[in-house]
Structure 1
Amino acid sequence: MNVVFVGAHQDDEMNCLGTLIKYSRRGDRVSVITISNGDKGAQYDPSIPHEEVARIRMAESAAIMEALGGTYHCLGQEDEQIVDNREVREGLTRLLRQLRADVVITCPPQDYNPDHYITGEITYHAVMLTTVRTMYEDVPILDATPAMYYTDTCAGLHFEPMFYVDISDVFAYKCELLQHFKTQMINMQVFGGYDLVTYSEIMNRFRGLQCGVRYAEAFRAETRWPRARPGVLLP
């Protein structure tokens, strides 16, 4: 099975990284796509050129995907300025077709950052277009519209889980991989007083408490036709 996470920024996969690890370990192919290049992501040091920040952040996500035997792709929009337009829908649709996506995970519509919920909207439209024969005809359509899931929101606010994935057995490795996000580890330490590992410890423990395991990640399924599927395709 081919699993694709579509995020706004390099580190958004944090909310489903344990799940991606589990997919990878059972033999599924995993990929990450970001809509933005992450060029505004070094708030702790605004003197770093935006082009350099983008290069660093894309390399961070690529390193994690390499560790999981997957691939990383970026559509190159400007960080904190993501817009939904024909070009980005086409670019994402083409990528999802090329990756032969069976499951697509993305940012939830109720999240705090406009980049996040706009990314979810872009993904919603692109998933539909993956099977439309009269668009982007040079790239073969998918056999079926991918199943679609949304990750947790920041701090879990305004998010009622439908499904949980037990990541207790891979949580330590998730924390190890999160160390690749050096720019955001520093950002969160400077502005929030904690880092991605501490955040994950809190969030994944909280979601684990809800479903009776040590650590878990929470998801909602997109149930609008034709994205719904019988059963659960999460690991």
Structure 2
Amino acid sequence: MNQSPPIRNVALAFLAHPDDAEFLCAGTLLRLVEHDWEIHIATATAGDCGSITLPADQIAKVRRGEAATGARMLGATYHCLEESDVNVVFDKTANRKVIDLFRRIAPSLVFTHPRLDYMSDHEQVHQLARSAAFAYSIPNASPLPLLPGSTIPWLYYCDPIEGCDPYSGKVVRPTVHVNITQVMDRKSEILACHASQREWLRAHHGMDEYIESMKRHGAMRGHQVGIEYAESFLQHQGHPFPRSDILSELFGINYIQ
């Protein structure tokens, strides 16, 4: 399916948890802002399991605030669907929420998790995003008004954690790289908004260097195409999604000089 330039320059990053967008695609979102795109970041959960010291309601409040602050710094609007960490499932209720979210935003470009990733929440959000991307522009799919320019969007999958298929251990081969070198400092500042997660990751994952780990991944992907930092994506090209590559059209085949 070839697609002409979108009527609505609206991008949505729909991911599982607060800070996922900052790790996985915030650099590309910043580049889209430079091209006058409207940006939305949505999470399935508020991150209610993201602490070993605070109860669920308190850490969720903290993380909603961190996510909203990061979105504002990026120039985006933040949305939360209020599902529960480690309990995200593809069911009728969640599917309804996500279709309605897409209906209100009417994105022409969507970023989400890959089909295979290190935890179930990510994989379930992948299914929810695919469903909503296909369905939201169908008139009878939601009782909400259908905005002008609503259409099946370009759909891109962010890297899995560490860039690897968790079942085979093989590095995923992306279809497009976006040069984020010039916005890496801003991406790092936005990720730093999620201060609560540095302690959580260090305690639960044995992982420190919250920002440095993000930079190392960007440097690994950048090295593959001869630049300093990149974010990499796999484009969904199945029927009836657009098969033209809007990221390459905006930023170059692999990267922008």
Partner deviation per Cα, 1:36-91 (whole Å, 9 max, x = no partner): 12100113x2xx12101111111111111111221111111111110111121111
Please state if 1:225 is matched with 2:242: no
Please state if 1:207 is matched with 2:221: yes
Residue in structure 1 matched with residue 105 of structure 2 by the alignment: 99
> 1:193 & 1:147 partners in 2: Cα distance?
34
> 1:50 & 1:111 partners in 2: Cα distance?
24
> 1:129 & 1:70 partners in 2: Cα distance?
24
Please state if 1:145 is matched with 2:152: yes
Residue in structure 2 matched with residue 41 of structure 1 by the alignment: 50
Verify the 8 A CA contact 2:47 2:60 in the aligned structure 1: yes
Partner deviation per Cα, 1:97-144 (whole Å, 9 max, x = no partner): 211201010011111110001100111011111121222133216532
> 1:193 & 1:80 partners in 2: Cα distance?
19
Mapping of 1:148-187 within 5 angstroms? Answer: 148-158=155-165, 159-187=172-200
> 1:136 & 1:3 partners in 2: Cα distance?
20
Identify if the C-alpha distance between structure 1 residues 63 and 185 changes in structure 2 by more than 3 Å, giving closer, same or farther: same
Shift, 1:194, TM fit: 2.0
Please state if 1:9 is matched with 2:17: yes
Aligned length: 232
Q: Cα RMSD between the aligned structures?
A: 1.4
TM-score by length of 1: 0.94
3-state SS in 2 of match to 1:233? helix
Where structure 2 has 5 or more consecutive residues not aligned to the other structure, the ranges are 1-8, 166-171, 252-257
Verify the 8 A CA contact 2:152 2:242 in the aligned structure 1: no
Please state if 1:26 is matched with 2:32: no
Where structure 1 has 5 or more consecutive residues not aligned to the other structure, the ranges are none
Residue in structure 2 matched with residue 192 of structure 1 by the alignment: 206
> 2:153 & 2:74 partners in 1: Cα distance?
21
Identity %: 26
